[in-house]
Amino acid sequence: MIDSFKYPDTKAYEYVVAALAAKGVTYKEIAKITYELQQQFLPDIELKEYEEATIDVMHKRELLNNVMVSLYLDKMATEHKLDEPLQSIVAHDAGVFGVDETLALQIANIYGSIGVTNYGHVDRVKPGIIGKLDRDRDSVNTFIDDVVGGIAAAVAGKLAHKYS
């Protein structure tokens, strides 16, 4: 750790934005999920502020690290390059796998445990782009739907703390 390695935050952010965009996910789509989730609790806050909060949250290093790993695993699974039996498990998006949820949870928890309940709800209801990813059969999307839910939940946590 006593090391001259400079953490590549900017490159990580650019990688994540590009990799999400390649799957049709932008900060706007994520902000929309949180907006619809939180509107009833924060009636005066406009979509614009959710979008700004989403961009802000997406710069957090903890988020970027968990997202990079998640998207890489989906990519390898789509290319059938994971080792067995991990390949079959991820390809089937088995509900008891849990690693996807563990990584998303760590994202959701960045602004405290309020993010956790929002993540769990979103993961179950699959609103907006999450549902679209879940129904897509052209590639393995085992991790990305959780990641998007985790980010949306973190944004919810950030705004809930700001307006309390």
**Which residues form the interface with a second copy (CB under 8 A)?**
1-3, 5-8, 11-12, 15, 40-41, 43, 61-62, 65-66, 68-69, 72-73, 75-76, 82-86, 88-89, 92, 94-99, 101-103, 105-106, 109-110, 112-114, 116-125, 160-161, 164
The 10 Å Cβ neighbour count of residue 57 is 26
Longest dimension (CA), the chain: 50
- C-beta of 126: minimal distance to a second copy in Å? 11
Nearer Cβ to a second copy (28/131) = 131
- C-beta of 90: minimal distance to a second copy in Å? 9
Nearer Cβ to a second copy (11/135) = 11
Cα atoms found within 13 Å of the Cα of residue 2, Cβ hemisphere only: 0
Nearer Cβ to a second copy (56/62) = 62
Nearer Cβ to a second copy (28/94) = 94
Q: Which of 47, 158, 128 lies closest to 149, judged by CA?
A: 128
Q: Which of 125, 122, 113, 111 lies closest to 147, judged by CA?
A: 122
Contact 16, 68 (CB under 8 A): yes
- C-beta of 54: minimal distance to a second copy in Å? 19
